[in-house]
Copies of this chain bind each other. A is one copy, B any other.
């Protein structure tokens, strides 16, 4: 790649962002990559276990720590990462601020584009790293942490490049004042806000962190990445490659630093509250997310949790609906921020081509669809993956006790490939719409609630209130009536929630594609930012215009 060529490519990428058409840079199917690459990745993963990740920047680090445990093997990975004090991390970032902010935008862009190619070469190791920290299946790990994450990074670089160059760098400004001209030379500079902090989560360590990381970098801000102590490995690979690429281009590696801590001694708040940290990207639970959002003098970008709802009003074929929904509920055992939880059906039932399906009927149809997917030897284990941590299992088992109508209880399930895998098959419960205290909160993990309402109108009102008050990242609706569909779209859009209609087959509400789907709207309590609208990059720098009197 060379800069000119990249800029031509960037124009194409920008067109995709504008048109919202399907677009990707790296194939999502592992089979599209040479066998040797996949094998090398697996080998690299195994060689990495029980070692220090010493290709990362580690000068003057305090010690080497790591406490990751594979949800598939339920043993520690034994990988250790260089630990620095918060003070040292900030010092390092301060030391490189000027160099990075004064690197021309074209050069920053070029370096960042090259990091994508470098990370691509490690897709397979990245997949194993993700699998054995998050509990995602190999396929999902490969896709989410590899091509899909890089698509979002590229989208961010593209958006950033064009926003950072949207005004002329220099202009001769001439104002005629009758007898003479007033002439000023002006320059316009996007000044980076400061040091960025990217706080990762355990379930999507790269997909959720790369947009913020690249948005900070393209805008000229050095970044400290603080992954969850239980899911460091994937981001260590990414940071490793970015550091290498920086060094190759004569830039100090410390422009991107990995910050690691222990579960027993977290440093996240200390980092957040450091005055030098001006930008915070956060993915995770609401408690910490709310804390991040209220911090003073910081620009924050949060993706927290919400309650994603499904409304089933009417459809052609109820089996297709049940299968689609079963997949969305089972995929990575409901540990996606986009997974549906609350399924609203009117007591009048679901109108289909084959007559009305009652609420009671749907309980059976849906639980059968879920179990037939889980028990499908070809796809079951790969779909549900593993549960990232014990707390999720404990919480679901505890929560279940509050429900009297258990439609589907978790069953014993052994993944033949990973006998030790931490698995909990989906739980389905049913409630009446009056039981708001039961369904009015998030149950993270494989837990679905069927809610019987009095009418279409009540369903819609409850779903909209839930999005408005508790937040929602997605909403899925099955509706064959175009007036009602329009009503759903308008009502949900008013509470800043997007709607997916009549998904069946290979279209799943959980999936948000880069260059087309805006992930999290930023308009309801599920988060205050969006991958990737103009605000996602523009809030990271400040436009300054200087004026010189022409001598």
Contact = CB atoms under 8 A, between A and B. Distances in A.
Interface string A481-508: 0000000010001101111111111110
A191 B547 CA distance: 37
Interface in A516-548: 516-518, 521-523, 530, 533-535, 538-539, 542-548
Contact of A21 (B171, B523, B544): B171
Interface residues of A, number: 60
A188 interface: yes
A503 B173 CA distance: 14
A4 interface: no
A193 interface: yes
Interface string A10-36: 000000011111100000000000000
Contacts of A171: 19-21, 516
A403 interface: no
Contacts of A489: 546
Contacts of A523: 191, 193, 542, 544
A21 B19 CA distance: 30
Contacts of A17: 167
A180 B504 CA distance: 14
B498 A545 contact: yes
A72 B535 CA distance: 45
A506 B182 contact: yes
A547 B496 contact: no
A191 B494 contact: yes
Contact of A496 (B20, B177, B493, B542): B542
A166 interface: yes
A186 interface: yes
Given A18-B167, A19-B168, A186-B20, A521 B548 contact: no
A467 to B, nearest CB: 12
A528 to B, nearest CB: 10
Contacts of A163: 534
Contacts of A79: none
Contacts of A533: 538, 543
A270 to B, nearest CB: 23
Contacts of A501: 546-549
Given A20-B167, A171-B516, A551-B502, A538 B534 contact: yes
Nearest to A516: B173
A77 to B, nearest CB: 34
A174 interface: yes
